[in-house]
Structure 1
Amino acid sequence: MKNRIKTKMIKILSGNRETRLIVQVADTQRKREKGLMFVGKLPENEGMLFVFSEKIYGGFWMKNTLIPLSIAFLDSDGEILKILDMEPCIEDK
């Protein structure tokens, strides 16, 4: 049986505005390493949530990511600290 990644609906609140997103949950090292590599398109209001068991201060890479992505960094309370817009990066062969 294929190991399917679980999904979750999350809400982002900004003032009186609420945005609902369907996210794939990357909660293991393997899932985090693969991320959204080789994904050709992503529907509006869908994405990936990277879950870490402790605070991290690293970054994300876009290797073999075919689509532009916005990455939001959250604190342990779920507050958005920063959003970065990232460009696709196809590995040179």
Structure 2
Amino acid sequence: MKKITFAALSAVAFVAFAASSSAFAEGKTRAQVYQELIEAQQNGLDYVTDASYPDVNPVFARQVEQHKEALAAQAAAASHVASGSASAGDVN
């Protein structure tokens, strides 16, 4: 009798574990979460504090603006380099 009860409980536990792991597998991948973290840092969301949530803390507002300006300058430089290398490839 104990063996049957143990087998039944094991089967129920296995089914519950399989159901919970499949639900967990439907979430985001590590790569997706990592990319979201990078985007949040680039947007200045790491300067949000408990007191200022959901906005950036006013103390850090200027730093966030400088960070965004630096990112825009990097993106412009990267696109300029990419367009320069593309036109250099066209010459040959």
TM norm. shorter chain > 0.5: no
Q: TM-score, normalised by structure 2?
A: 0.19
**Going by fraction, where is helix more abundant, 1 or 2?**
2
Higher relative contact order (CA 8 A, sep 6+): 1
Larger-Rg structure: 2
**Going by fraction, where is strand more abundant, 1 or 2?**
1
